[in-house]
Structure 1
């Protein structure tokens, strides 16, 4: 067992990358409402709101928090109609945000930062995990029936108005399921009218994953299965096909005792995780109807933030993982690394495909789908849980440049060295791309791709929304934002063309 490693280093930092990282991790304090000037032409059928989530304030009490995944959450919305764009951003009024406003300090445990509580504060936090970490749900937004919620990996989520971005309050489940960790990437099964997810209950000697589903218009979670794991893995996402749930338990393990006692010890969440060198990725395949474990196999040691897609194929489940060799990327997201001379040297991740036999026999070695680096991956939403062809994500022009390109990968391309198309230029650092299908379109890439881009190529940093034709992967329009948008995480397009 070892601590999470550091990323590989380059011989020299790239000046534009250093400028971009500094700008992208500078606090944004103002809230704005503005009509944006549009260059080019946004297709008339693109109507709706592109909503993004992420942290936007890391300086508190005169000091910077330690990790990208620390800070307070901010929502951003690009409302698009008739070729025009209106932008607004709003703080998520979480317990964490309200505490910072009141005291000016970080009062809750963050992913990589200790809140430095008093003795009695530690005692109180130890009695309730939600009091320890708050509800700073900064990772994405998702739809639950008629409601939209801001989602993190906290035990509770927050209801929001998806148009005004106003905070409505804690989203309250009607059941009594207790968890210390909730996966942020809930998955929708539109055919069943359900949302699937899993939570972790971490208690020394009694840790387990609880896989559950919720009807889209209900607030009651139904527990589908319990999978025991004395050292639960940190899984930012999971796999779901039409018939199965897949838990890829990477060897980045949570120490249940450290996590359970972290409220008193002040140990931040990331420091309760440990990389277990050489440990395989134990992978459980569950039946979506019964919850029964259909197969358990061992995949190679690896780490991934994101499962790209999962589908059933004859007597196998196919799992496409955006895989790293190890968990060094998590450690690289500390500001000591990101804002240091090797800040752009994020470890590479690529799409690797595994075919998991449902009879439990050993799977064949993974197949690298493309040599192109990809992160924050997205596909056409209608192809989720089904075979697909195109993936979109962040990439780079060369190692050391952080993520300075968008990439489109044709997974049907026979040659992994030539099946990717890149968009961007030096000094542009794009966020996660989101595909929006054209209504009535039949081709899988008939639509547009939206992304927020940080531009540091000029004298002063700026941000703009870019609209790409998904088929040609070329720019058709952009709209400049009145301030720099910090590096965020995930988002969704909300509108009639979203599915």
Structure 2
């Protein structure tokens, strides 16, 4: 861990909200909270007295969660953060081993020659810890997507903390991940309050799977996700998040084998489940989880289309083999030539047998075996949906693509979701630039300095579907590793890119991080705010409008 970049090491929390030192002019119209997840701890003690060596989490996805919150009001910026998986550490100290879902190498046995017999035999079974029964609100690691809270069924868990809010959309944050578990945190203090599964909302939603990015239709008040039942049946379901409590609207079984996906897609009238050609091979449980997820060579990627109104599966399409993490946007429209209803689904697509998350081991971040690869922004077209036969597979075609521009962690203007003809996508664009804190002395007398590796993320990019143009913002003065860009629109603005893009960089010395606001039009810096600590690199964030959070 000595040479791992500072943003992939243990970082402290800032539990008392503090004012940030700012530079430039933060827009006074920017009113609300910017919530971000992070991976705050990688070194986990396995004893109270330090008598045992610690467990070392060795994959970017596995770091124990921390929530960050920036509050904007009248041109001022305040900051607070809190670790949200302290119960995992308490259990590890008590048990003498780490029991939490681990994507990468089993942290209990980091060295082959040091493996204890049980861990060598159980392998990934020890990494696939799936909780059951009552759990404390910080007893699992959820560190992917933060969102507004929603009304939930009455809590029967005696280990929960605090009381359920009567205004969860204003007073609570819900954290999502890629398995069937949700974490509720206090929006002010960020303290974990409750752990639950979708089965606590409705018993029909017991099982595995779940994507961390359930798409939301804000107009009708629904979110959509997928589930693999204990019997191995994969389904898509719709949840009414405005109901008090939230309730299941429909669940539709899919005619395909289970797979791993990270997000779904929606249009105005349809939900689209894109089956990644990836499955979990459990025949060898000594493998780490990321190695158990296998690519299905030569298998087409299928699009299953369901009506939002009733969940009926109405059409199936397929495209040549590709995989994806993140959908960008989707919309349906009437083809002026044929009069048919077509769908456009925009993704960051990876073609071939390439599995990017296997690159995200910390050892590979230190010494990459090859350049990191991001997806290509591709628009897939599903034609004549209204005339389709669900039992007959049709061909999905590529309507448009922006090649030679690596794109990942894509974001758009929020009110452009499901809008035909939207133009702009903001994303992390490749890697590059030096990682601070990773320099080592070189030369006969150690008088030179060499950076060990490039930054995990290199720059922020903006693409335009209409013109195909691409612009990039690269941090300067030794700053590096901008995180996922989140666009916030100026209230009442007409132009789609009228607003600011929020991202976080780390300083040259690796001692602190900086929140940066860029112009949505040209990606030029507008303002910045110093954080009192290093931002523990995390995948996703959400901007929540209003000053009540």
Scaled by the length of structure 2, the TM-score of the pair is 0.77
Could you tell me how far 1:174 is from its partner in structure 2? 3.1
User: For residue 290 of structure 2, what is the aligned residue in structure 1?
Assistant: 270
Structure 2, gaps ≥5 residues long: 46-53, 109-115, 151-166, 335-340, 434-453
User: For residue 189 of structure 1, what is the aligned residue in structure 2?
Assistant: 217
Post-superposition CA distance 1:43-64 (Å, at most 9, x none) = 1011111110122111124242
Q: Verify: 1:382 aligned to 2:415, yes or no.
A: yes
* Contact 2:58 2:107 (C-alpha < 8 Å) held by counterparts: no
Q: 2:466 aligns with which of 395, 412, 416?
A: 412
Structure 1, gaps ≥5 residues long: 1-17
User: For residue 58 of structure 2, what is the aligned residue in structure 1?
Assistant: 66
Q: 1:80 aligns with which of 47, 72, 91?
A: 72
Bigger radius of gyration among the two: 2
Residue aligned with 2:397, SS: coil
Residues 395 and 355 of structure 1: CA distance in aligned 2, closer, same or farther (over 3 Å): same
User: For residue 221 of structure 1, what is the aligned residue in structure 2?
Assistant: 248
Distance of 1:68 and 1:367 partners within structure 2 = 32
Q: 1:301 aligns with which of 306, 321, 325?
A: 321
* Contact 1:195 1:216 (C-alpha < 8 Å) held by counterparts: no
User: For residue 184 of structure 2, what is the aligned residue in structure 1?
Assistant: 159
User: For residue 11 of structure 1, what is the aligned residue in structure 2?
Assistant: none
Distance of 1:366 and 1:159 partners within structure 2 = 40
User: For residue 393 of structure 1, what is the aligned residue in structure 2?
Assistant: 427
Residues 403 and 235 of structure 1: CA distance in aligned 2, closer, same or farther (over 3 Å): same
User: For residue 270 of structure 2, what is the aligned residue in structure 1?
Assistant: 244
User: For residue 363 of structure 1, what is the aligned residue in structure 2?
Assistant: 396
User: For residue 208 of structure 1, what is the aligned residue in structure 2?
Assistant: 234
Residues 278 and 497 of structure 1: CA distance in aligned 2, closer, same or farther (over 3 Å): farther
Distance of 2:484 and 2:398 partners within structure 1 = 29
Residues 216 and 143 of structure 1: CA distance in aligned 2, closer, same or farther (over 3 Å): farther
* Contact 1:70 1:113 (C-alpha < 8 Å) held by counterparts: no
Residues 166 and 22 of structure 1: CA distance in aligned 2, closer, same or farther (over 3 Å): same
Distance of 2:425 and 2:310 partners within structure 1 = 31
User: For residue 487 of structure 2, what is the aligned residue in structure 1?
Assistant: 435
Could you tell me how far 1:397 is from its partner in structure 2? 6.8
Could you tell me how far 1:466 is from its partner in structure 2? 0.2
Distance of 1:109 and 1:481 partners within structure 2 = 30
* Contact 1:390 1:410 (C-alpha < 8 Å) held by counterparts: yes
Which residues of 2 match residues 10-409 of structure 1 at below 5 A?
22-33=5-16, 34-61=18-45, 62-93=54-85, 95-100=87-92, 102=94, 105-114=97-106, 129-131=130-132, 135-145=140-150, 146-147=167-168, 148-171=173-196, 173-176=200-203, 177-201=205-229, 203=231, 206-217=232-243, 218-230=245-257, 232-255=258-281, 257=282, 265=285, 268-314=288-334, 315-325=341-351, 326-342=353-369, 345-357=371-383, 358=385, 359=388, 361-387=394-420, 388-396=422-430, 402-409=456-463
Distance of 1:104 and 1:389 partners within structure 2 = 53
Could you tell me how far 1:390 is from its partner in structure 2? 0.7
Scaled by the length of structure 1, the TM-score of the pair is 0.85
Residues 297 and 20 of structure 1: CA distance in aligned 2, closer, same or farther (over 3 Å): farther
Residue aligned with 2:179, SS: coil
Could you tell me how far 1:115 is from its partner in structure 2? 6.2
Residues 83 and 334 of structure 1: CA distance in aligned 2, closer, same or farther (over 3 Å): same
Distance of 1:88 and 1:269 partners within structure 2 = 33
Distance of 1:109 and 1:323 partners within structure 2 = 26
Post-superposition CA distance 1:178-217 (Å, at most 9, x none) = 12122111222122122222222364xx331342323324
User: For residue 465 of structure 1, what is the aligned residue in structure 2?
Assistant: 515
Residue aligned with 2:405, SS: coil
Could you tell me how far 1:100 is from its partner in structure 2? 4.0
* Contact 2:279 2:294 (C-alpha < 8 Å) held by counterparts: yes
Q: Cα RMSD between the aligned structures?
A: 3.2
Residues 219 and 80 of structure 1: CA distance in aligned 2, closer, same or farther (over 3 Å): same
User: For residue 51 of structure 2, what is the aligned residue in structure 1?
Assistant: none
* Contact 2:513 2:531 (C-alpha < 8 Å) held by counterparts: yes
* Contact 1:200 1:210 (C-alpha < 8 Å) held by counterparts: no
* Contact 1:114 1:268 (C-alpha < 8 Å) held by counterparts: yes
Residue aligned with 2:88, SS: helix
Could you tell me how far 1:239 is from its partner in structure 2? 0.5
